[in-house]
Amino acid sequence: MIDSLFLNILNISLTAVYLILAVTIIRFFFKKLPKWSLCILWAVVAIRLIMPFSIECVLSLIPSARVISEEIITTNRPTIDSGFVIIDNAINPVVESSFTPDVEVSVNPLQIIIHIAAIIWIIGIIFMAAYALMSYIRLRRQVKMSIGMGDTSLQIYNCDGIGSPFILGILRPAIYIPSTLDEETRKYVIAHEKAHLKRGDHFWKPLGFVLLSIYWFNPLCWMSYILLCRDIEAACDEKVIKDKEKDYLVSYSQALLDLNIQRRSIAACPLAFGETNVKARIKGVLNYKKPAFWIIVVSVICIAAVTVCFLTDPKGKDNNDVSIMHDNPDENNATTDFSEENNDDTTIKRMLMVNGILYVDTGYVSGVTGRCGNLDGSITSVIPEDEVPDEDGESNFEALGYQLGFQAGTIEVPIDNEWCIFAEKGSDILAKGEIPQSVLQFVATVTEVSDDENDEYIIVEVTSDVASMFSGSVKKGNRYKLSTKNYDSGIYEDKPAVGNVVIIACKGMFLETDPAIIGYVYYISPIGSSPCAILPYDISDWVINIDLSEEYSFSDFDEMIGYGGGFLLLPKVNEGSEGTPEEWLYSGMLTRCPAGNTDIKFANGLLQLSGVPIHNHTVAEYIEVIGETRSNRAWSAIMLEEKHDLYNNANMNISGDYWYFWFAKEGEEYYYVLSLSEDEFTKDQARNIALSLYLKAFDNQ
């Protein structure tokens, strides 16, 4: 409960940041606006922080209404949605690699972190409340012996124990004035404090402090409260002096100067006459001119614009407008509509209720491998397929269980040996046609077509940006070999011809057990068809020279192993249960990995011990960098020792122990990985073998 509340407050705080920045920018550039308009803008900020519901608007400039989903503490692939692709692409890999739950641990690490953060948040609120209470008690003690003045229409008191006039109280506010003030100064003070009461500032300022106490962790909320206090005082000054002569303005400014308070702490309750930004207030009073009509108009426009654009949340686009267009305008182009019109209850019958949320089959299948088999929940009851589930664990199809998806808002259900992707009813995946994050999608042009019945394929060149968070290995401009066996896109009766433009959607991909490690090989299909494999078109760089004795040999290229396909080092030396990566069972492997999927560092061109992706079910230890004196044709490498759990249920202590060598060179697109079994090779033997490795890819081109 507290965790959910904290995440909700955190999301509100993040969306309010844009509104706070907008008000601050207006405040800075439009200095001639009347101060009451600035107070209204801060009231809009308060509404944003208080509002328990969202209002959608097509004019909203908020990038994302929910940056951190509540599912982040339960999902196997924690991500954020800031609304900015660049930020998400920079942050999400770090979040995933740091907080993806370990299957051997029952608690998600983010669940612990967020719970601790929620407790700290509550402690902060308690501290702020205690500070306000102590300030109020202290002031009450100071004014305890106050004496009422003659004006019976207001509660105005003379007090010996205070150095500055202020208002105290919300329901029954009273004005307290130092008994040492002369009559002239007292006149300006009372006028100012009366203006506060007429404006209701004795209510708005404490409300601002309450909101600050709730959102104390957001530094922009502190800035907002400080600026609010300044604008409240300036607006009150304007109300007092708006119809006064120049002499009155000078005397009023002198009173402000005489009663200037050097306050060093955040005022929780009172509205004191000279407590904030006195220098600017005096300057504003002396230079005050009644605002022209056009300034009033600009003020109203600013308030309306800020309210519409920043108090509202972004609205989904019209479903009828959502489509993906081919780049080629000729007759071979096709438009594929992913709108909810094609995904509503009349066409998608499979549905599932989880934690009170209805999930609908997207029609996509996730090919993410390396799952540990631990399901996050089970289907407990099945209803007829033409009915809608309304109880947790209820479905209108037969299946054994479900697992939380790799992005917020999805569930993956094992049906007929496939992990089918279900999305929340009404989510962007269904409503706007967004493709699930475990599905890759791009547009390509056919450059070559095979007529060989034994090796049917097309070669395509990617012509669009790749739409997926898993797009690191498929890039615009690259060419790929696509198997066309069982090809059935619904666009072409036969294989596409050279020059045709095709849409390719990935049904999933090969990943190691850590979903943050992106494989090079994808299992894809044209939209609406069954999966087929896509392989790198050119693998001619796999020219291998290595010093190994005759009992060892490399297998044929296997796109299913390692970080992006490669070669197994035969023979097999280990046994593991289902789900164990194949390369953990052999004498070793040779594979390659996109450089962007690592965080390997270089210093002055020299390789550093850093940034190697570590599998789930693996304990790893960095050892050293080898081969630093080698030529450009033989890269240096990071050496590690890794122990892999082989998923052997009979004896969980059985592991595959390997020496790993990550060959990396600054500026290269791919790094190469050699592993050697500790059962077959000593540390020195493995190091010498690694130093002997030569690949064509090592050539300095």
Q: What is the pLDDT of residues 30-46, one digit of tens each?
A: 888 888 999 999 999 99
Residues 246 and 384 in one domain: no
Tell me the pairing of strands 174-178 and 166-168. antiparallel
Residues 148 and 231 in one domain: yes
Q: Is the pLDDT of residue 666 over 50?
A: yes
DSSP string, 523-581: EEEETTS--EEEEES--TT--EE----TT-EE-S-BTTSTTT-EEEEEEE-----TT--
What type of residue is 438? Answer: S
Residues 10 and 112 in one domain: yes
If you average pLDDT over residues 356-361, what whole number do you get? 88
Residue with tokens 């600013």: 302
Q: Three-state DSSP class for 141?
A: helix
Please list, in sequence order, all residues whose beta carbon lies within 8 angstroms of the beta carbon of residue 578, skipping any fewer than 6 positions away: 373, 647
If you average pLDDT over residues 100-120, what whole number do you get? 72
Residue 470 vs residue 615, higher pLDDT: 615
Cα separation, 200 vs 292, in Å, equals 25
**How many structural domains does the chain have?**
4
Cα separation, 424 vs 405, in Å, equals 11
State percent of the chain over pLDDT 70.
Answer: 73
Of the candidates 84, 52, 62, the residue with the CA atom closest to the CA atom of residue 306 = 62
Task: Report if residue 221 sits inside a domain.
Answer: yes
If you average pLDDT over residues 616-639, what whole number do you get? 82
CB 540 within 8 A of CB 557: no
Cα separation, 228 vs 234, in Å, equals 10
Task: Report if residue 299 sits inside a domain.
Answer: no
Residues 380 and 449 in one domain: no
If you average pLDDT over residues 663-687, what whole number do you get? 92
- The model's confidence at residue 683, banded by pLDDT at 50, 70 and 90, is very high
Strand order, beta sheet including 271-272: 147-148, 156-159, 174-178, 166-168, 271-272
Phi, psi of 505 (to 5 degrees): -120, 130
Question: What CATH code is carried by the domain that includes residue 503?
Answer: 2.40.50
CB-based burial, 310-333: b 16+ in 10 Å, e otherwise? bbbbbeeeebeebebebebeeebb
What type of residue is 649? Answer: N
Q: Give the least confident one: 22-36, 190-204, 485-499.
A: 485-499
Task: Report if residue 446 sits inside a domain.
Answer: yes
If you average pLDDT over residues 93-121, what whole number do you get? 73
Q: Mean pLDDT score of the chain, rounded to an integer?
A: 77
| Angle, helices 278-286/246-258, rounded to nearest 10 degrees | 170
Q: Give the least confident one: 320-334, 411-425, 473-487.
A: 320-334
CB 693 within 8 A of CB 636: no
CB 377 within 8 A of CB 356: no
CA max distance for the chain:
110
Of the candidates 441, 371, 466, 385, the residue with the CA atom closest to the CA atom of residue 413 = 371
If you average pLDDT over residues 460-475, what whole number do you get? 60
Two tokens, residue 323 = 């489509």
Two tokens, residue 418 = 């496939």
Helices (H) and strands (E) counted in the chain, each on its own, are: 12, 33
Cα separation, 485 vs 499, in Å, equals 20
Residues 108 and 189 in one domain: yes
Task: Report if residue 298 sits inside a domain.
Answer: no
State percent of the chain over pLDDT 90.
Answer: 20
- The model's confidence at residue 470, banded by pLDDT at 50, 70 and 90, is very low
Task: Report if residue 147 sits inside a domain.
Answer: yes
Residues 140 and 12 in one domain: yes
Residues 215 and 244 in one domain: yes
Q: Is the pLDDT of residue 18 over 80?
A: yes
User: pTM of the entire structure?
Assistant: 0.48
Query: 368-410: per-residue pLDDT in tens?
Result: 555 555 677 888 899 988 889 988 889 999 887 888 776 667 8
Task: Report if residue 652 sits inside a domain.
Answer: yes
Cα separation, 364 vs 25, in Å, equals 45
- The model's confidence at residue 152, banded by pLDDT at 50, 70 and 90, is low
What type of residue is 56? Answer: E
Two tokens, residue 141 = 């003690």
Q: End-to-end distance of the chain based on CA atoms, in angstroms?
A: 58
Residues 564 and 498 in one domain: no
If you average pLDDT over residues 91-118, what whole number do you get? 71
CB 336 within 8 A of CB 502: no
Residues 563 and 510 in one domain: no
Of the candidates 67, 64, 30, 24, the residue with the CA atom closest to the CA atom of residue 45 = 24
Q: Give the least confident one: 89-98, 157-166, 420-429.
A: 89-98
Query: 167-193: per-residue pLDDT in tens?
Result: 888 888 888 888 888 888 888 888 888
Of the candidates 266, 303, 234, 218, the residue with the CA atom closest to the CA atom of residue 6 = 218
- The model's confidence at residue 313, banded by pLDDT at 50, 70 and 90, is confident
Task: Report if residue 317 sits inside a domain.
Answer: no
CB 582 within 8 A of CB 560: yes
Residue with tokens 């006028």: 191
If you average pLDDT over residues 495-521, what whole number do you get? 50
Cα separation, 235 vs 326, in Å, equals 57
- The model's confidence at residue 266, banded by pLDDT at 50, 70 and 90, is low
Rg (CA), the chain: 33
CB 473 within 8 A of CB 520: yes
Q: Is the pLDDT of residue 317 over 50?
A: no
Domain end among 269, 286, 303 = 286
Query: 208-224: per-residue pLDDT in tens?
Result: 999 999 999 999 999 99
Q: Three-state DSSP class for 22?
A: helix
Of the candidates 517, 617, 615, the residue with the CA atom closest to the CA atom of residue 563 = 517
Q: Give the pLDDT of residue 223.
A: 93
Q: Is the pLDDT of residue 484 over 70?
A: no
Question: What's the residue count for the chain?
Answer: 701
CB 256 within 8 A of CB 288: no
Q: Give the pLDDT of residue 106.
A: 46
Of the candidates 596, 586, 610, 529, the residue with the CA atom closest to the CA atom of residue 564 = 596
Please list, in sequence order, all residues whose beta carbon lies within 8 angstroms of the beta carbon of residue 61, skipping any fewer than 6 positions away: 18, 309, 310
Residues 426 and 446 in one domain: no
Domain end among 520, 536, 552 = 536
Task: Report if residue 319 sits inside a domain.
Answer: no
Q: What angle do CA 638, 641, 646 make, to 5 degrees?
A: 130
Q: Give the least confident one: 142-146, 238-242, 511-515, 568-572.
A: 511-515
Please list, in sequence order, all residues whose beta carbon lies within 8 angstroms of the beta carbon of residue 259, skipping any fewer than 6 positions away: 164, 165, 185, 189, 273, 274
- The model's confidence at residue 663, banded by pLDDT at 50, 70 and 90, is very high
Residues 196 and 252 in one domain: yes
Domain of residue 33: give its range.
Answer: 2-286
Cα separation, 61 vs 73, in Å, equals 28
Count of beta carbons in the 10 Å neighbourhood of residue 685: 13
Cα separation, 61 vs 305, in Å, equals 10
Of the candidates 599, 589, 591, 597, the residue with the CA atom closest to the CA atom of residue 659 = 589
Of the candidates 226, 3, 277, 242, the residue with the CA atom closest to the CA atom of residue 117 = 3
Two tokens, residue 350 = 């499979």
DSSP 66: -
Q: Give the least confident one: 20-24, 187-191, 435-439.
A: 435-439
Residues 353 and 466 in one domain: no
What type of residue is 73? Answer: I
Domain end among 536, 552, 582 = 536
